[in-house]
Amino acid sequence: MKVISTGSKFDIYPDDLKSYDKLPADYYIVRFVEKQGFFLEKYSEFKITDTKIYGIHAQKADKVLDSFADFKRNLGVILSGDKGIGKSLFSRLLGMKAIEKDIPVIIVEAYKEGIGAFLDSIQQEIMVLFDEFDKTFSEKDHGAEAQNSMLSLFDGVASGKKLFVITCNELRGLNDFLVNRPGRFHYHFRFDYPTEEDIRKYLEDALETEYCTEVDKVVNFSKRIALNYDCLRAIAFEINKGLEFSEAIKDLNIVNIEREKFKLCVLCNDGSTLINKRVIMDSFSKESEEFSLYEIGGGYAGSISFCPANLKYDAGTRELYLEEEDVSLDYDDYDLEESENKKKADGLRSRGIKRVVVDRVSENRLHYAV
């Protein structure tokens, strides 16, 4: 039996009671029980299961912890981006490196009134991870006070410097007092989908040697459809069972049926180039689609029509492309007479098409606000 007194109050505890001057470096999760209040529980699930870390995660995790060591106040980090593209992996890697530096890691998975004051009472250096903050602290579910109540905690008015890490899928779900506020959240890492090089490295490591012939096929597919690491893991699993990628993809729950954004670049025989930086299409559609074209310097140049399903992949140049026989050109300006439109169309076709390059566009490049 152990007896603990606080003032005139005496509490009885079992013999395995231990006391510490500070929280040991380990993983914890915040729990709450009515009539008992907040407490920490050891959290064994916060581990890195991947044997290899891809991309620039390791360097950026080191950068965060180096900055935290130099800061005289709290340091905040926002991790944003779609699911399955590295936010959780980065937070786990950051947590692992924090533990190595004797910094406990506390995970917050739910909002409860008073949680800010509880975290504030821990007067030592800690890392606090708010997983999917845009959902667990949603203003829609909990009102504006849920996020507003955390501001004084983030600002660090109490003792015990803290590293706050927020993951979110949708930036619009964050309070205006969090985004674009480097005094409160110094870093904002926005994660993009794996690049072609990342995909190749991952598959070359994950696939048995005899199945590495499928890598180019997966890369070709990724030019049309955004693939996250969850997708790549599933693809590698199926291919390693002996399936060709074309067969494996049919049954996997990863095909993005949404229309993706692409950039068209029409290289003409006369040396000129026509572009469209924003083409929204289903790259597997067998129906002909028409898109406007523009001169490099601006101005409507005509239109191009093609069947997206005819897109080809050049493993040498690593490009999706169409050839002259795959497309048709036209010119249609509502302000011009039919004869003038025909003249313009003939002029457009006379340029000749050398090649049409099609690139999938991602607008969520990983960036760092320092």
Average pLDDT (47-74) is 81
Q: Residue 33 above 60 pLDDT?
A: yes
Question: Quick one: pLDDT at residue 272?
Answer: 93
What whole-number distance in Å separates Cα of residue 47 and Cα of residue 87? 14
pLDDT tens digits for range 243-261: 999 888 888 887 665 678 8
- Identify which has the larger pLDDT, 204 or 170: 204
Question: Quick one: pLDDT at residue 366?
Answer: 43
- Identify which has the larger pLDDT, 77 or 335: 77
pLDDT tens digits for range 168-182: 887 777 777 777 788
Question: Quick one: pLDDT at residue 152?
Answer: 80
DSSP string of 177-220?
TTTT-TTT--EEEE--PPPHHHHHHHHHHHS-GGGGGGHHHHHH
Average pLDDT (51-66) is 79
H and E: helices and strands count for the chain: 12, 17
Mean pLDDT of the chain: 86
Question: What is the dotted CATH code of the domain comprising 24-190?
Answer: 3.40.50.300
Q: Residue 22 above 50 pLDDT?
A: yes
Question: Quick one: pLDDT at residue 370?
Answer: 30
Residues 6 or more apart whose CB falls under 8 angstroms from that of 70 comprise none
Q: Residue 221 above 80 pLDDT?
A: yes
What whole-number distance in Å separates Cα of residue 239 and Cα of residue 214? 8
Return the domain boundaries, the chain. Answer: 24-190, 196-251, 260-360
Residue 108: is it exposed, middle or buried by C-beta count within 10 angstroms (0-12/13-18/19+)?
A: buried
pLDDT tens digits for range 319-346: 899 999 999 999 988 888 889 999 999 9
What whole-number distance in Å separates Cα of residue 267 and Cα of residue 279? 17
Average pLDDT (10-39) is 88
Collapsing DSSP to helix, strand or coil, 94 comes out as: helix
- Of 23-27, 87-91, 185-189, 363-367, minimum mean pLDDT range: 363-367
